[in-house]
Structures are given as structure tokens and as C-alpha cells.
Amino acid sequence: MKAEVIIPILIPMLAGALCLTCWRWRLVQRWISVLSGAGLLVASLVLLHKVQHDGIQVAYMGSWPAPYGITLVADLLSAIMVVVTGVIGLAVAVYSLATMTRSHEAFGYYPLLHLMLAGVTGAFLTGDIFNLYVWFEILLIASFGLMILGGERAQMEGAIKYVTLNLISSAMFLTAVGLLYGYAGTLNMADLAVKLNGPEQSGLVTVIAMLFLVAFGIKAAAFPLFFWLPASYHTPPVAISAVFAGLLTKVGVYALYRVFSLIFVQDTDFTHGTVLMAMGIFTMVTGVLGAAAQFEVRRILSFHIISQIGYMLVGLALFTPLAVAGGVFYIFHHIIVKTNLFLVSGVMYRYHGSYDLSRLGGLYRSAPWLAALFMVPAMSLAGLPPLSGFFAKFTVIKAGVLEGHWLMVAMALIVGLLTLYSMVKIWAEAFWKGLPDEAKPLRGQQDPHLYVLYGPIVVLALITLTIGFGAEWFVQLAMATAEQLLSPAGYIEAVLGGSQ
């Protein structure tokens, strides 16, 4: 039994349970929440260290060997994702100390947040495809609760779309699992990889692969399945939007990376080269065009999530070591940057009481530090050197050039420019231009909790800078991850080797 693999799931789960028992003592809940965020970060760093030095870690639940029992597997991709979850969990726990109102806390914000984090880490660590479904449902139902916290009209409308689309995606996931079990007779991912990649597979496998693609594509908000995202992500309180924006769609992307590198590699010309590539390119373009048309900060940011998902899908679609490494780099860079941008938008709201760019202005004069802190994630998202986004985009595009996929390269470059355009739009409207007359007066400076809000933003910006300036180390890590993903023999050996 490898405790390192289980602890990152146990910590948020226990924290959620403890918060439930301390329902009336909100101060206790806050402390539990911050401590568990820190604990999760430490545990995930231990796990990453262990995986880097001792190889893939496997834990058999109930000591049932694979493929009979449920296995938890931590390879490099899982470990990296868990580390990023820890970073975001801690940052959001601290940020919510100052932004969550009394009523949000009274209706169970902290328990829901931690149960959602438990679902996310569980989904990253599981090695069984039905178990993946169960973790997805855990994180979904917690996120449903978070989505409607506060109960405003916009939240209800957003939640109905969010809930419906996610339930349809879950039903599709379950259908695909059923067909897969009927075909292969197993649900352990490593075992499936062995059984499905023998000689002579029927076309049914590709059909099942496409079902999984649609199910995970809805959760990842890929083209043409993303319309629930811009309709719902900007409605909840900003700390919740931030954690949704950073983590939840990336769980879908992670699931795509997992099944399309391990299990469904029979017909890569069709599944990766055609379908995923088309999906990725369209996701990039439609997302950024949506962002360019919007005039509300959080809506712009929501559309950018979609556009960046496209880059990750393109990385998977090219399916070369460099491209997959670029995609992995993109995932962890983007989670941090996007969460940070949402957190910054929350501080902007603190100053002028609006997310609408036409009602914002003059922030450069009133909050110069916020302006500097906004520039770091914004320019990183747009891909300006030497920030983290540049290396992520550069790796993906370089892989495209090496493969000679010029259409994708051209689209990626154009989308990068348009991203820059919409980030500059936020900059010019919110920070640069004067404050419009009808806008509310400044109220941020009287806010005693402002330093609590700046804390996580500064730390996340520093992480972005670290990834940018220490890119060598992170690119190496992403390359090692890609190697591991593209040669699944090691994964299969680690999971099934213990039982034979």
C-alpha cells in the first residue's frame, strides 16, 4: 500500500467532512480550509518527488491486485496535475477568506470546495475507468452546489445549462463504459490498453473512442460542445469562478490525454490526426473570437479558457513527444494563469463594483500594483516571452512546424495575436483610460481585507514568472511526462506487474 498516492485524496476529503461537522463554526471551517490546502500542496509535492525518483506509483485498494480491484496510479502527468491542484486549492482557500460573504459560508462553501478538490485529485489519480466516472460525479455534484451558492437569477440560469450538459456528458460516459466493458471485459485502464491494442481490433473500438471523446469534450469545453461554459462560468462568486476556470475543464482535458494516449491508440490517423486536430483548431479559433466580441471581464476570460483548451487538444492531436510535452506544459501553465486572472478580476470588482469594462477605468492610477500584477498573467496568457505562456505556445507550435502541419501553426499564431488583442483591451479599458463619470467611486482603499486578496495573486504571479525564467526545468519535466505517456508499456508494467 503506497500511502503517498492516497493522501492527496484523503486530505481534502477529510477536510470536507470536518468542515461539515463544524457547520456552525465558520471560523473553524476557514482554518481547516487553509490548513488542508497547505497540506494538499505538501502531500502533492511529496508525491511528485516520489514519482520522479522511484517511477510510477501504484496503490491497490483493499489489496485486490489489478485488474480486479480499484487501483490508484500516479505517473508524472497525474502527479503534476495534483501539484497544480494543491497550488490552486491553497490560493483559493486564502483568497476566499476575504471574499466569501457570511451567507456563502453559512450555506457550506468550504465543505463543497474541499469535496470538489477531493473529486479532482481522485480523477487525476485513478487507474480505473469506472472509478474515473465516480470521481467525476463527486466533483460535479460539489461544483453544482458551488455554482448556485448565493442563488441569484443569473446563477440559476447558468446552473441549469451547466447541470444539464454535464449530466448528458455523464450519461454518454456511462454508455461508453458499458460498451467498453461488453467488448473488452475489463475496466482497468492498463488492462484495457493490453486487451485493445492486440492485433485485429474491430471498428467498434473507434466508435467507443469517439463516445469518450464527446463525453470528455463536453467536460473540457471543446468545440462544438462548449456553449455551457460562457453561459455559466461568470455567474458564481469570483473565488468559485477562479477554481472552476482553472481546474474543472482541465479534468476533462486530463481524461482525454489519459485515454487517448493509453487506451485508444489503434487508429491514430483518424482519431488524433483528423478528429482531435479539427476539434482543437476550431476550439482555439471560436474561443478567441468569442473573447474578442465580449466587453465584460469575466466573460472575456471565460471565452479564453475555451481558446486555450484548443492548444492543449492540438498538442494531443499531433501526438509526437514534443507536441504532447507542449500540451502538458500548456495545461499546468494555464491552470495557474487563468485562476490568477479571475482572482485579479475579483480585486478589480472590489475597486469599482463592476466587471463591465465600460464602467471600469483609472485603475492604473489608483492601484498601480494591481496593474503590474495583471500584466504578468495577461501577457503570459497571450504568450509573450519570457513568461510561461510563451514556452507553452512555442513548444506546441514548434511541434507543428516539425510535423509540417502549417494550418495549425498559422491558426495558433493568429489566435495568439487575438489573445493579445483582448488582453490589451482589458488593459486599455480598465487600467489606462480615465474613470467614466457614471462609475462608482473608489472604495478599494478603505477595504481592510485587501492584502489578503493580494497574497494569492502575488504568489501565483511569482509561480508564472518562475515557470517562465526556469523554463528549462519545466520543459524537461513536460518532456519526461510526454515520453511516459507515449510509451505506455511502463504504465502497464507498473500497474499489472504487481499482480503477476
Partner 1 sequence: MENLFAFVVGGLYATALFMMLRRSVVKLVIGLIILSNAANLLIFTSGGLVRGAPPLIPEGLYQPVGAIADPLPQALILTAIVISFGVLAFAVVLIHRAYEVIGADDVNEMKSTDS
Contact set with partner 1 (CB under 8 A): 130, 133-134, 137, 140-141, 144-145, 148, 151-154, 156-161, 163-164, 167-168, 170-172, 174-175, 177-179, 181-183, 187, 227, 230-232, 234-235, 290, 293-294, 299
Q: What is the DSSP string of 227-266?
A: THHHHHTTSS-HHHHHHIIIIIHHHHHHHHHHHHHHT--S
Q: Is residue 456 a contact partner of residue 373, using CB atoms and an 8 Å limit?
A: no
Give the integer Cα–Cα distance in Å for 246 and 344.
13
Q: Minimum distance from CB of 451 to partner 1 (Å)?
A: 32
From the CB of 485, what's the least distance to partner 1, in Å?
27
User: Nearest distance from residue 247's CB to partner 1, in Å?
Assistant: 19
| 339 in Cβ contact with 245 (< 8 Å) | yes
Q: Which is nearer to partner 1, 29 or 169 (CB)?
A: 169
Name which of 194 and 291 has its Cβ closer to partner 1. 291
Give whichever of 174 and 420 is closer to partner 1, judged by the CB atom: 174
The number of angstroms, rounded, from the C-alpha of 256 to the middle of its chain's C-alpha atoms is: 12
Which C-beta is closer to partner 1: that of 160 or that of 452? Answer: 160
Cα–Cα distance for residue pair 186/195, rounded to 1 Å: 9
How far apart (Å, rounded) are the C-alpha atoms in residues 31 and 103?
18
Distance CA 214, CA 132 (A): 16
Cβ–Cβ < 8 Å for 426, 357? yes
Greatest extent of the chain over all pairs of C-alpha atoms, in Å: 74
| Alpha carbon 22 to its chain's center | 29
Measured between alpha carbons, how far is residue 76 from residues 47, 183, 254, 336, 354 in Å? 9, 29, 12, 18, 41
The answer to whether 338 touches 305, Cβ cutoff 8 Å, is yes
Nearest distance in Å: CB 465, partner 1: 32
Quote the least distance from Cβ 368 to partner 1, whole Å: 31
Alpha carbon distances (Å) from 229 to 81, 222, 289, 374: 21, 10, 15, 23
Alpha-carbon distance of 320 to 138, in angstroms, equals 33
Query: Least separation, in Å, of the C-beta of 148 and partner 1?
Result: 7
Q: Which is nearer to partner 1, 140 or 479 (CB)?
A: 140
- Nearer of residues 101 and 487 to partner 1, judged by Cβ: 101
- Minimum Å gap between C-beta 216 and partner 1 is 16
Shortest spacing between CB 129 and partner 1, in angstroms: 11
Amino acid at 312: M
If we measure between CA atoms, which residue out of 156, 158, 159, 146 comes closest to residue 240?
146
Question: In this complex, which beta carbon is closest to partner 1, that of residue 158 or of residue 456?
Answer: 158
Closest CB to partner 1 among 137 and 483?
A: 137
Mention every residue, 6+ apart, whose C-beta is less than 8 A from residue 483. Answer: 321
Q: Which amino acid is at 293?
A: A
What's the chain's length in residues? 500
Pick the closer one to partner 1 by CB: 47 or 148.
148
8 A C-beta contact, residue 94 and residue 37: yes
Distance of closest approach, residue 15 Cβ to partner 1, in angstroms: 21
- Cβ-based nearer residue to partner 1, 219 or 333: 219
Residue 293 Cβ vs partner 1, minimum distance, rounded to whole Å: 8
Tell me which DSSP letter residue 128 carries. Answer: B
Nearer to partner 1, 161 or 195 (CB): 161
Minimum CB separation of residue 324 from partner 1 in Å reads 31
Q: What's the gap between Cα 452 and its chain centre?
A: 24
Smallest gap, in angstroms, from Cβ of residue 234 to partner 1? 8
Looking at the Cβ atoms of 134 and 442, the one nearer to partner 1 is 134
The whole-angstrom separation of Cα 130 and Cα 189 is: 9
